[in-house]
């Protein structure tokens, strides 16, 4: 998808909803598109229900690790965007004084600027579209316009999903997303042990396998765990955050 398409008067939200089979797949399409139209190296979608945030989908590098750091301290640009319904732009992590040691953590991971755009603000499933870039001041005015359009489409997609499916089905979608994330996390741990590499390198390896075999990342991870253990991956318990 090109930046020009992001500005088209007929956004692809309807097409995306028709072509995807779940809310998770729709949001994955969104994350992939956000990465394509920006100068970011990583993209992710945070959703928060009942004060429990989670990265439902991600593309590129860095998003899962940096999101989890923010969830662990219950503060950060993605949570601020999701909870306050405001756009949060960090031009230079090294000059940032908010959010404790998170900025230095991001810089240590090679990320010096970020952008978090609220989606579904003031709804029961608030969230944020998060973009992470290596250089400082990485997001141009053209990037901002295209990404705001995508965030608006995500809001529309989630609102439509909530109207179409009942509460039980929606909860099932969220559970499936958490199980997919759990399978990915477990597979990353396995690959780190086998290849003696970092989490980022393990994630990049799994994404490469997924793309090479043209199989969804979650299916690659589930297959790996099942092959090694003889059982499918188990979902992580979602404990309340302090």
Q: What is the four-CA torsion angle of 199, 200, 205, 210, rounded to 10 degrees? A: 100
Position 23 scores a pLDDT of 77
Note the pLDDT tens digit of each residue in 135-170: 999 998 888 999 998 888 888 777 776 666 555 566
Position 112 scores a pLDDT of 97
Q: Is 202 exposed, middle or buried (0-12, 13-18, 19+ CB in 10 A)?
A: buried
Note the pLDDT tens digit of each residue in 68-112: 999 999 999 999 999 999 999 999 999 999 999 999 999 999 999
CA–CA gap between residue 45 and residue 24 (Å, rounded): 10
Q: Answer whether 3-164 and 173-229 agree in fold.
A: no
Q: Is 152 exposed, middle or buried (0-12, 13-18, 19+ CB in 10 A)?
A: middle
Domain boundaries, the chain: 3-164, 173-229
CATH code reported for the domain at 173-229:
1.10.10.10
Tell me the sheet residues that pair with 59.
43
Can you name the CATH fold of 3-164? Beta-Lactamase (3.30.450)
The residue whose two tokens read 């086998």 is 194
pLDDT-based confidence at residue 20 (cuts at 50, 70, 90): low
Whether residue 238 is predicted with pLDDT greater than 60 in this model: the reply is: no
CA–CA gap between residue 113 and residue 205 (Å, rounded): 24
Position 2 scores a pLDDT of 42
Position 6 scores a pLDDT of 43
- Cβ(46)–Cβ(82) under 8 Å? yes
Q: Name the 3-class secondary structure at 59.
A: strand
Average pLDDT over residues 16-28: 75
Q: Name the 3-class secondary structure at 174.
A: helix
């Amino acid at each position: 998808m090109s930046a020009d398409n992001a500005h088209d008067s007929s956004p692809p939200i309807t097409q995306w909803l028709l072509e995807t089979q779940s809310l998770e797949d729709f949001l994955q399409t969104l994350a992939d598109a956000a990465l394509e139209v920006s100068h970011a190296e990583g993209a992710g979608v945070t959703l928060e229900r009942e004060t429990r945030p989670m990265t439902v989908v991600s593309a590129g590098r860095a998003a899962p690790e940096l999101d989890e750091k923010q969830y662990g301290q219950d503060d950060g640009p993605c949570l601020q965007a999701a909870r306050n319904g405001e756009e949060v732009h960090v031009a230079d992590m090294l000059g940032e004084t908010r959010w404790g040691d998170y900025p230095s953590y991001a810089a240590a991971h090679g990320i010096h600027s970020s952008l978090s755009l609220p989606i579904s603000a003031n709804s029961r499933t608030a969230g944020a579209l998060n973009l992470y870039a290596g250089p400082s001041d990485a997001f141009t005015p053209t990037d901002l316009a295209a990404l705001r359009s995508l965030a608006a489409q995500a809001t529309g997609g989630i609102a439509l999903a909530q109207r179409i499916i009942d509460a039980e089905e929606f909860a099932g979608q969220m559970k499936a997303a958490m199980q997919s994330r759990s399978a990915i996390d477990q597979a990353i741990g396995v690959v780190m042990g086998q290849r003696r590499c970092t989490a980022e390198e393990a994630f990049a390896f799994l994404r490469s396998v997924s793309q090479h075999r043209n199989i969804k990342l979650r299916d690659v991870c589930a297959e790996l765990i099942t092959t090694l253990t003889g059982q499918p991956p188990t979902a992580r318990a979602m404990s309340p955050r302090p």
